[in-house]
Structure 1
Amino acid sequence: MTATAQVALVTGASSGIGKATAIALAAAGFQVIGTGRDTARLTAPAGVTYLDLDVTSDASVASAVQQVIDRFGRIDVLVNNAGVGATGAAEEFSIAQAQGVFDINVYGVIRMTKAVLPHMRAQGRGRIINVSSLSGFVPSPFMALYVSTKHAVEGYSQSLDHEVREHGVRVLLVEPGPINTPFAGHSVVADTPLPLYAAGRRNYDELLEQNLRSGDDPAVVAKVIVAAATDRNPKLRRTAGATARTISAVHRLAPARTFDRVIRKFNRMPS
């Protein structure tokens, strides 16, 4: 590590988008700390140091951030990537399940952000990059719980960005579309399935598997995150991947009724 190397902390860096991001940031000259719940079994890529972290634990978050500060002296970029999917009809999830998903996807982002902000303010600069989703700005039937967490992250990020900008800190959003990762296999499955949703759920599971299989490589998202971390005048939000770009354009330009039909067609639902 050189005296001028910036320090990036990436949550959920053991695989998928997080791992690709850690590698890309290291290649861009950052000293990278990647986190996961159990990193002892992992081989760290060049330029990446692994650290155990549970984003659902206040104590774990505080300890990990302090370890980074103690060892590297600063945190210039935080990438909030740790998250979990959730598939099933909204009615099929128990409240306990919903709370668990929000604890990772939303409160995990808030915990990490609150932990690094004092350090970023003290140094007069920093970037917090929150990995949202195409689902952060459009609906996705049979993923209502997951979608609601990403909508929450979007609202939190946009509002917080205004609060901290005058202190030299920016809060930015990256919105991937379908990415070729084991997302579906790591998703929470609704614990109270109802027969009336069975056909729709099967249809969605098939569609999700197909979209992920043909989705963009995680490196596509990592490239966008590096741009968000390094651009002199960063944009608040950036899509990542061909599908996200296309749907974002349609969402901006199409009338609401037309976009509603697009969503139903995209999800193979009756008109």
Structure 2
Amino acid sequence: MNDRSVRVLITGAGSGLGAALARAWEVRGATVLRTDRTPGEGIHPLDITSDADWAAVRDHVAQTWGGLDVLVNNAGIAGGGRLDVAGIDEWQRLVDINLLGAVRGTATFTPVFKQQGSGRIVNVASLAGLVHPAGMAGYNATKAAVVALTETTGHELAAHGVSAHVVCPSYFRTNLMAGVEGRDAALQSVMSKLVEDSPISADDIAAAVLDAIDVGTEVIIPDDAARGAVQLKQTDRASYDAVMRAQARKLDKIAEQA
């Protein structure tokens, strides 16, 4: 696919990884429609939980471009909490945004891609979709569901010339934690520190994602920390479980000291 003719729609592109992906594609000469729930210069409004908003952006794409080459379901939120701390309302919010946002985007543009006989769907999940730390059940579950959604999408649409890719990075520096909501203050403290201390930037992840898409990688694990965690789980389950359970004990201790 010639990047200079590529039409890309990115959700959650007002900041963070969405903005970094937009910059990376634009540097290659692609035409990018940046969408976000938060209004801003150069941002097309899109609340990914709204069917009406998705229909409107589909109509905008049809009228402006006549089609779409790449849909990036990037928008999402951080969250979660230990099983006896997080409420069902927190679970529901994670499901509505992290999972059903990607479902709505995929369902909206699947007919467009089928009619064209081409297209790419890129869903941004997380390492949490493959590796499941304690205290993050709601987040882990929604991101794992995005991994499953992407695999199913790839199987279902392959005959129509459409590929599906899922992105599973570990912690990287972004503003994701700025909007976090939830009752588990201990988890939020741990996650915030992991984000702040990460040596990886959103631009690093974006560059790795585009390189992986170029070669057709379907499950994109774009950084060494993520690849190491997945490898440990696959090759030494006992050690992986020990690490995860030690993290669970540490989280409980932090909560006790708060």
More helix by share: 2
Q: Secondary structure at the match of 1:86?
A: coil
Amino acid at match of 1:32: V
Describe how 1:242-261 pairs up with structure 2 within 5 A.
Answer: 242-254=224-236, 256-261=237-242
Match of 2:38 in 1: 38
1:266, 1:21 → 2: CA distance? 31
RMSD value, Cα: 2.0
Task: Indicate which of 201, 208, 211 corresponds to 2:194.
Answer: 211
Structure 1: stretches of 5+ with no match in the other structure: 45-49, 194-200
1:241 aligns with 2:241: no
* Residues 53 and 64, structure 1, Cα contact 8 Å, conserved in 2: yes
1:115 aligns with 2:104: no
Q: CA deviation at 1:145?
A: 0.7
* Residues 80 and 90, structure 2, Cα contact 8 Å, conserved in 1: no
Match of 2:245 in 1: 264
Q: CA deviation at 1:186?
A: 1.6
CA offsets per residue over residues 72-123 of structure 1, 9 Å max, x none? 1111001110001114213323323322221111111010001111111111
Structure 2: stretches of 5+ with no match in the other structure: 253-258
* Residues 129 and 143, structure 2, Cα contact 8 Å, conserved in 1: yes
Q: CA deviation at 1:228?
A: 4.1
2:34, 2:3 → 1: CA distance? 20
2:223, 2:249 → 1: CA distance? 21
* Residues 129 and 225, structure 1, Cα contact 8 Å, conserved in 2: no
**Cα pair distance change 1:132/1:105, threshold 3 Å:** same
**Cα pair distance change 1:34/1:267, threshold 3 Å:** farther
1:133 aligns with 2:126: yes
**Cα pair distance change 1:3/1:89, threshold 3 Å:** closer
* Residues 53 and 60, structure 1, Cα contact 8 Å, conserved in 2: yes
Match of 2:25 in 1: 25
**Cα pair distance change 1:181/1:157, threshold 3 Å:** same
Match of 2:14 in 1: 14
Describe how 1:142-181 pairs up with structure 2 within 5 A.
Answer: 142-181=135-174
1:241, 1:213 → 2: CA distance? 16
1:209, 1:106 → 2: CA distance? 22
2:105, 2:234 → 1: CA distance? 31
Task: Indicate which of 70, 73, 79 corresponds to 2:66.
Answer: 73
CA offsets per residue over residues 164-205 of structure 1, 9 Å max, x none? 111100111111100111222222213xx6xxxxxxx52x43
Q: Secondary structure at the match of 2:34?
A: strand
Task: Indicate which of 193, 206, 222 corresponds to 2:206.
Answer: 222
* Residues 10 and 22, structure 2, Cα contact 8 Å, conserved in 1: yes
**Cα pair distance change 1:209/1:94, threshold 3 Å:** closer
**Cα pair distance change 1:142/1:106, threshold 3 Å:** same
Q: Secondary structure at the match of 1:63?
A: helix
* Residues 62 and 115, structure 1, Cα contact 8 Å, conserved in 2: yes
1:177, 1:150 → 2: CA distance? 12
Count of paired positions:
249
Match of 1:47 in 2: none
Q: CA deviation at 1:65?
A: 1.6
Give the TM-score normalised by structure 2: 0.90
Q: CA deviation at 1:160?
A: 1.8
* Residues 232 and 239, structure 2, Cα contact 8 Å, conserved in 1: no
2:223, 2:212 → 1: CA distance? 15
* Residues 3 and 28, structure 2, Cα contact 8 Å, conserved in 1: no
Return 136-145 or 16-25, whichever deviates more.
136-145
Amino acid at match of 2:234: R
Q: CA deviation at 1:262?
A: 2.1
1:253, 1:57 → 2: CA distance? 41
* Residues 7 and 32, structure 1, Cα contact 8 Å, conserved in 2: yes
